[in-house]
Amino acid sequence: MPSIFAYQSSEVDWCESNFQHSELVAEFYNTFSNVTFFIFGPLMMFLMHPYAQKRSRYVYIICILFMVIGLFSMYFHMTLSFLGQLLDEIAILWLLASSYSIWMPRCYFPTFLGENRPHFICFVIITTVISTFLSFLRPVINAYALNSIAVHILYIVFQEYKKTSNKELRHIMEVSVILWAFALTSWISDRLLCSFWQQINFFYLHSIWHVLISITFPYGMVTMALVDARYEMPGHTLKVRYWPRDTWPVGLPYVEVSDNKNC
């Protein structure tokens, strides 16, 4: 009787030529471009530490899951195995679920839950567990389903963008959406226009997706933290900072938390 853990090739294969640079690594650039996950994940854990202490230590889980995604994505592209594909996609699913649980504004909760966050978290966990099992049924569509969740996130960002006049929040939202749009364009182009990229010997779009989406992660975290603070942290002010210096033209965003005190 064959074991479910026996090697099985994934139905998903990206545009990069397989085993071109090494007999041990199927997709060289798609594998090692995941190193950015291991850079930005720990950095955001460190930079968001004061915020996590004030708001929720579950923020650390978000960063850890982000690094787990990088690890599983590296394994997937190194082996092109079915197991690697599922581990990669399930990790992304649970990262999204964790983010929803922590940062989803109560006003967007399903009506039948009212504005009860513990009930909402239970609802998200149950939905995610069911989705995890469903992901085994048609694995080839999992990535498209995960990207479609971005439509709902974009809807929330758009609604909050209309509500706020905060220039910092608007700027972070704009940069987040632009980075995500470029990342998604790279992902779709690699999937749908592979023959064209092969003709011009440019196989790097999926690896570019890895880099861009990992840069989008800090901006997405800060966006959701700022949105969440408007509802859940009325006694605190969040200020956007950039690592390593605010004055540098390019930096990694994080939030600085200060108490609102009446003199």
Of residues 191, 217, 195, the one with CA closest to residue 205: 191
CA distance 48 to 42: 10
Banded model confidence at residue 3, pLDDT cuts 50, 70, 90: low
Residue 30 counted as an annotated binding residue: no
Q: For residue 2, what pLDDT is reported?
A: 47
pLDDT tens-digit readout, 135-164 = 888 777 888 788 788 888 999 999 999 999
Residue 14 counted as an annotated binding residue: yes
Phi, psi of 128 (to 5 degrees): -70, -40
Global pTM value: 0.91
DSSP 140: G
Could you tell me which residues come within 8 angstroms of residue 109 by beta carbon, excluding any fewer than 6 positions away? Answer: 115, 116, 117, 120
28-259: CATH, from 1.10.10, 1.10.238, 1.20.1070, 3.40.190: 1.20.1070
Residue 210 counted as an annotated binding residue: yes
Give, rounded to a whole angstrom, the gap between the first and last alpha carbons of the chain.
74
Q: Where are the domains of the chain?
A: 28-259
Banded model confidence at residue 235, pLDDT cuts 50, 70, 90: confident
Residue 232 counted as an annotated binding residue: no
pLDDT tens-digit readout, 48-74 = 999 999 998 999 999 999 999 999 999
Residue 16 counted as an annotated binding residue: yes
Mean pLDDT across 85-89: 93
| pLDDT of 262 above 70 | no
Q: For residue 1, what pLDDT is reported?
A: 40
Residue 88 counted as an annotated binding residue: no
Q: Which amino acid is at 240?
A: V
